[in-house]
Amino acid sequence: MPQQTAYHDALGDYFAGHADISPYNAYTDRPAMLELAGDVAGARVLDVGCGGGHYTADLLARGAEVVGVDGSATLLEHARARVGERAELRLHDLEEPLDFAGDASFDGAVCALVFHHLTRRAQLLGELRRVLRPGGWLLVSTTHPTADWRHFGGSYYADDWVDLPLKSGSFSIRYQRMPLETFLGELLTAGFVLERLVEPRPVPGLREIDEARYDKLHRTPSFLSVRLTRP
């Protein structure tokens, strides 16, 4: 991803810790994506934009062999602290081809809350199609276009780059808004077949620690998650 949108240094440290307990990451996006993944025992999975290694750890716990890649050295340090030598972790700019991976070398790939940070999305999708075996699966999550519309205003169809301040007030994250037709259109144009689309709600555990946020996320969507297959 572009240098200005990657989670480096202090932002990377903040995000790695935040993702441990965040209502959005820990209780909404991650449970939904792992449910979409289903049984991964014995599968070789590419964690695209693995961040602090939260997905990598969960996939390992479910019996997968995982290769995690991220453009932030800071986040990879957190990932290594979380999973040790149990996964192959690589520093790799996702704006560049996945030249470390052979054709049809993975059974599945996870791209969690990364897609909207990238400028060369078509190139990445082409590379994912190449490295997935026929019948392999791809999970992608992104910000919900209506959530962005409610927050930033303007046109629902806007495709501008925006900065979203984080709760701490010290950091913001930069990404590109996109309507649903753009998000799905890019995935389908790349040759993937849509299996499922979900608008994740938080799991019940959030209610026990933050009932107000639990209720809010059951009324207003925050993310979109899809499962696709490579023909």
Sheet of strand 65-70: strand arrangement: 88-91, 65-70, 44-48, 106-112, 132-143, 223-229, 193-198
- Residue appearing with tokens 């808004």: 177
State the Cα–Cα distance between residues 185 and 177, nearest whole angstrom.
14
pLDDT for 13? 66
Q: 3-state DSSP call for residue 134?
A: strand
Closest CA to 1 of 34, 45, 48, 47: 48
What is the C-alpha to C-alpha distance for residues 124 and 131, in angstroms, rounded to an integer? 11
Q: For each successive 10 residues of the chain (231 residues), what is the average pLDDT? A: 51 66 92 98 98 96 98 94 97 97 98 97 98 98 97 96 80 92 98 98 94 94 97 97
